[in-house]
């Protein structure tokens, strides 16, 4: 039995960072919990949610003996009130005292072991750095040193198999002509789509000298080394804007020394993770079934020299998320399957069997080079991400960290998975959280929190966060339903496409049928119902406030599409939305898309509506919020508009998360509970 290691985030940082940003890699975490400076409470608060520590990723050393993992650390454990930081820790995989491997005052992320396991590389931006750089630290301790001097920042990197180089992706520097034009003010932008081109370079680990791997105008999205280190597979797009990178990327191979690219295979639509087989003969990748598939969830293989791809999981009722070769004949695939995240062993012949079924939800996993050790950052309904370790052979995972000390003694609402039939008989499922101190036989107010996408999914994990405060609603006496309506991922390609050409139609009545089911079971009061969500979940809430106003007392419309016509003309995802969500071009179907817009039904709304948006949102421009707010105000509806400065498509700042979560619950308390 491995011993659970507690990381008490209020007092874990014993190592000292030098003025140059280096650190002592032997800083130790205490083995026992320390008393928190915050007053203890059995009630969840917005502050507790915002400040929860959690393990967000984990990578195992090649020999499986050590694990590097990242911990999201709340503000009180770092310098200054700037919000959470990500700190890198290393622990023995068999259990033991973890050591902090990155400085406490700055964020560090993306830890990666060299193939010999002697060095850990990671990304960070320290004092004196122009942008995010690659840092190296010996695995047995010592000082971290900066390897790169990128002027534009490094997005991602991977070690070469030899350990002599690291390939990395960075933003392209402006040309001399572009810099001169900008200095003199002659810098017009042409066209309606823009993005920052990323290029692929490699840096010599000893000298720190970088060289170009790919030269040209194509945008680099991702890459992976061949096992021999002589080639790379790269994902490229002709443009760097969001639509192009999402929908029109292609796979190529290129010599590690640089040169011309070679097309790997024909693909359509979205692309995800990719990796070479150990024998170098095959490349596996996650991608869309076709241009209209909402996700990159199908597992494909293709000969490394190029050719016709083969779909291994085309009929699988789940959505691939991550892959790793176990040997040259089989692949480990992490998937969203219903509300769970199993790991499957998929053969190149298309066979599939279960490899691991973790308790809760795993969003990040890794497997040692010898194929024996499995590590994962997993969460459950009662705790955020923690580090889990197990063997590939047994498939069993054991939790070895405890970072969420702030939840000790806090009462949480119980969780279950519920299922019901839609109007047309299709089975729909959702995640149900009961109120704290639930009493059988009592009808409760219902808060429906809808995921975005629509190809998102609500899983049976720690679903409480600043923008979706599930357990905060449970603490305030609500039943919370998170429905996975048709169009959600986790149930295969056909289910993911089941809402196309019908957005806001049957997918919404899927949710109405869920309300009716809970009411028929005597669990909720159908006259006290509110809906809230972000992005596409906000769109759902906009429909609840307008077209379906008779069913809802209150709504929270977050970063939402409210007018499909104006949204299509202003969003950065015009093609992605039209191809994989609508599966039609809105300009060619004006009557349909207008009817499915909350704006079309604002007159006569009786639903108290809080509209929330980030002022810097480019995915769903803020004009969508202003349109609905003014229409509801004109119709006499009780409405509130909350704009958060500096925020994009969601909320990142701690103060904004706390303000929003508190405001959200109070809005429902006033208008749903009455």
Question: What are the tens digits of pLDDT across the range 333-356?
Answer: 999 999 999 999 999 999 999 998
Tokens found for residue 497? 């496409």
Residue 256 near residue 269, CB atoms below 8 Å? no
Asked whether residue 188 is assigned to any structural domain, the reply reads: no
Share of the chain above pLDDT 90, in %: 82
Going by pLDDT thresholds of 50, 70 and 90, the confidence category of residue 104 is confident
Going by pLDDT thresholds of 50, 70 and 90, the confidence category of residue 82 is low
Asked whether residue 53 is assigned to any structural domain, the reply reads: yes
Domain count for the chain, please give it.
Answer: 2
Q: Which is it for strands 639-644 and 608-614: parallel, antiparallel or unpaired?
A: parallel
Q: Are residues 503 and 533 in the same domain?
A: yes
Check pLDDT > 60 for residue 8: no
Please provide the DSSP assignment of 411-458 as one string: ----EEEEEEE-TTS-EEEEEEEPPTT--TT--EEEEEEE-STTT---
Going by pLDDT thresholds of 50, 70 and 90, the confidence category of residue 16 is very low
Q: What is the pLDDT of residue 40?
A: 56
Query: Cis link prior to 610 (omega < 30° from 0)?
Result: no
The 10s digit of each residue's pLDDT in 599-621 is 999 999 999 999 999 999 999 99
Distance between CA 536 and CA 512 in Å, rounded?
Answer: 16
Which has more confidence, 363 or 131?
131
The CATH number of residue 465's host domain is: 3.40.50.1820
Alpha-carbon distances, residue 274 vs 5, 97, 252, 271 (angstroms): 33, 34, 12, 9
* Domain termination residue (choose one: 410, 429, 462): 410
The 10s digit of each residue's pLDDT in 199-216 is 999 999 999 999 999 978
Domain that holds residue 577: 411-671
DSSP helix/strand/coil, 6: strand
The set of long-range contacts for 205-213, using a CB threshold of 8 Å and a minimum separation of 24, is: 205/119, 205/136, 205/147, 205/163, 205/164, 205/165, 205/166, 206/164, 208/147, 208/148, 208/149, 210/148, 211/258, 212/258, 213/167, 213/254, 213/256, 213/258
DSSP helix/strand/coil, 122: strand
Asked whether residue 317 is assigned to any structural domain, the reply reads: no
Q: What is the pLDDT of residue 506?
A: 98
Asked whether residue 397 is assigned to any structural domain, the reply reads: yes
Q: What is the pLDDT of residue 191?
A: 78
Q: What is the pLDDT of residue 21?
A: 35
The 10s digit of each residue's pLDDT in 106-163 is 899 999 999 999 999 999 999 999 999 999 999 987 889 999 999 999 999 999 999 9
The 10s digit of each residue's pLDDT in 22-57 is 333 333 343 333 334 454 568 999 999 999 999 999
Residue 161 near residue 227, CB atoms below 8 Å? yes
Q: Are residues 494 and 619 in the same domain?
A: yes
Asked whether residue 163 is assigned to any structural domain, the reply reads: no
Q: What is the pLDDT of residue 30?
A: 32
The 10s digit of each residue's pLDDT in 449-506 is 999 999 999 999 999 999 999 999 999 999 999 999 999 999 999 999 999 999 999 9
Asked whether residue 398 is assigned to any structural domain, the reply reads: yes
* Domain termination residue (choose one: 410, 435, 460): 410
Q: Are residues 523 and 397 in the same domain?
A: no
- DSSP lists the bridge partners of residue 168 as 157, 201
Q: What is the pLDDT of residue 78?
A: 54
The 10s digit of each residue's pLDDT in 569-588 is 999 999 999 999 999 999 99
Q: Are residues 511 and 599 in the same domain?
A: yes
Q: Are residues 397 and 428 in the same domain?
A: no
Mean pLDDT of the chain: 91
Asked whether residue 383 is assigned to any structural domain, the reply reads: yes
Choose among 353, 354, 400, 393: nearest CA to 374: 393
Arithmetic mean of pLDDT, 361-389? 93
Q: What is the pLDDT of residue 460?
A: 96
* Domain termination residue (choose one: 378, 410, 442): 410
Residue 511 near residue 450, CB atoms below 8 Å? yes
Asked whether residue 175 is assigned to any structural domain, the reply reads: no
Q: Are residues 661 and 548 in the same domain?
A: yes
Please provide the DSSP assignment of 268-333 as one string: -S-EEEEEE-TTSSEEEEEE-SSTT-SS--EEEEEETT----EESSTT-SSEEEEEEEEETTEEEE
The 10s digit of each residue's pLDDT in 254-271 is 999 998 999 999 999 999
Distance between CA 553 and CA 668 in Å, rounded?
Answer: 8
Q: Are residues 377 and 503 in the same domain?
A: no
Q: What is the pLDDT of residue 177?
A: 78
Q: In Å, how far from its chain's centre is CA 111?
A: 18
The 10s digit of each residue's pLDDT in 60-75 is 999 999 999 999 987 6
**Helices of type H across 176-241:** 176-183
Distance between CA 570 and CA 211 in Å, rounded?
Answer: 38
Q: Are residues 404 and 508 in the same domain?
A: no
Check pLDDT > 80 for residue 179: no
Q: Are residues 664 and 571 in the same domain?
A: yes
Placement of tokens 């509970």 in the chain? 673
Arithmetic mean of pLDDT, 237-261? 95
Q: Are residues 491 and 560 in the same domain?
A: yes
The 10s digit of each residue's pLDDT in 537-569 is 999 999 999 999 999 999 999 999 999 999 999
Q: Are residues 79 and 111 in the same domain?
A: yes
Q: Are residues 389 and 512 in the same domain?
A: no
Q: What is the pLDDT of residue 347?
A: 97
């Amino acid at each position: 039995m491995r011993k659970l290691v507690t990381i008490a985030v209020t007092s874990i940082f014993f190592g000292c960072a030098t003025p140059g940003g280096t650190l002592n890699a032997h800083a130790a975490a205490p083995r026992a919990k320390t008393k928190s400076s915050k007053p203890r409470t059995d009630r969840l608060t917005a502050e507790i949610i915002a400040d929860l520590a959690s393990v967000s990723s984990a990578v195992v050393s090649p020999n499986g003996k050590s694990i590097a993992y990242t911990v999201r650390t709340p503000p009180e454990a770092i310098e200054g009130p700037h919000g959470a930081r990500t700190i890198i820790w290393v622990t023995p995989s068999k259990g033991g005292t973890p050591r902090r491997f990155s400085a406490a005052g700055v964020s560090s992320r993306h830890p990666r072991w060299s193939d010999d396991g002697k060095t850990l590389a990671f990304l960070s931006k320290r004092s004196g750095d122009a942008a995010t750089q690659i840092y190296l630290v010996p695995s047995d301790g010592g000082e971290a040193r900066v390897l790169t001097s990128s002027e534009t920042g490094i997005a991602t990197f991977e070690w070469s198999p030899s350990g002599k180089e690291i390939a990395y992706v960075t933003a392209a520097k402006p040309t001399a002509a572009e810099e001169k034009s900008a200095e003199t003010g002659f810098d017009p932008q042409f066209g309606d789509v823009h993005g920052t081109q990323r290029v692929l370079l490699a840096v010599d680990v000893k000298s720190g000298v970088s060289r170009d791997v790919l030269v040209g105008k194509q945008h680099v999205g991702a890459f992976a080394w061949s096992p021999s280190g002589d080639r790379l597979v790269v994902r490229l797009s002709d443009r760097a804007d969001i639509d192009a990178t999402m929908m029109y990327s292609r796979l190529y191979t290129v010599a590690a020394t640089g040169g011309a690219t070679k097309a790997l295979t024909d693909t359509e639509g979205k692309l995800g993770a990719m990796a070479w087989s150990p024998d170098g003969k095959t490349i596996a990748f996650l991608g869309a079934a076709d241009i209209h598939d909402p996700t990159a969830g199908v597992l494909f293989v293709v000969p490394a020299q190029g050719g016709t791809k083969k779909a291994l999981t085309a009929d699988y009722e789940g959505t691939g998320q991550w892959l790793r070769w176990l040997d040259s004949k089989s692949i480990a695939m992490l998937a969203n399957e219903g509300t769970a995240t199993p790991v499957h062993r998929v053969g190149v012949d298309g066979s599939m069997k279960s490899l691991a079924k973790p308790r809760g939800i795993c969003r990040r996993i890794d497997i040692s080079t010898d194929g024996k050790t499995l590590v994962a950052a997993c969460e459950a309904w009662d705790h955020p991400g923690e580090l889990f370790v197990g063997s590939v052979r047994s498939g069993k995972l054991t939790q070895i960290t405890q970072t969420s000390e702030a939840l000790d003694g806090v009462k949480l609402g119980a969780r279950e998975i519920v299922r019901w039939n839609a109007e047309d008989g299709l089975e729909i499922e959702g995640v149900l959280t009961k109120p704290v101190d639930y009493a059988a036989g009592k009808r409760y107010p219902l808060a429906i929190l809808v995921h975005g996408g629509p190809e998102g999914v609500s899983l049976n994990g720690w679903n409480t966060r600043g923008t979706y405060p599930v357990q905060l609603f449970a603490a305030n006496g609500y039943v919370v339903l998170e429905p996975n309506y048709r169009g959600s991922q986790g149930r295969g390609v056909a289910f993911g496409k089941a809402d196309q050409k019908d957005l806001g139609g049957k997918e919404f009545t899927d949710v109405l049928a869920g309300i009716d089911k809970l009411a028929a079971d005597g669990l909720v009061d159908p006259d006290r119902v509110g809906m809230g969500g972000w992005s596409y979940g906000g769109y759902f809430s906009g429909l609840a406030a307008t077209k379906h106003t008779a069913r809802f007392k209150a709504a929270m419309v977050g970063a939402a599409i409210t007018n499909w016509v104006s949204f299509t003309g202003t969003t950065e995802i015009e093609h992605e939305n039209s191809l994989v969500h609508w599966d039609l071009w809105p300009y060619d179907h004006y009557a349909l898309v207008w009817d499915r817009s909350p704006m079309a039904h604002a007159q006569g709304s009786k639903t108290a509506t809080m509209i929330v948006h980030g002022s810097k949102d480019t995915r769903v421009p803020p004009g969508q919020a202003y349109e609905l707010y003014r229409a509801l105000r004109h119709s006499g509806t009780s409405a509130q508009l909350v704009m958060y400065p500096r925020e994009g498509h969601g909320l990142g700042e701690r103060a904004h998360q706390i303000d929003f979560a508190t405001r959200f619950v109070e809005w429902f308390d006033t208008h749903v509970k009455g």
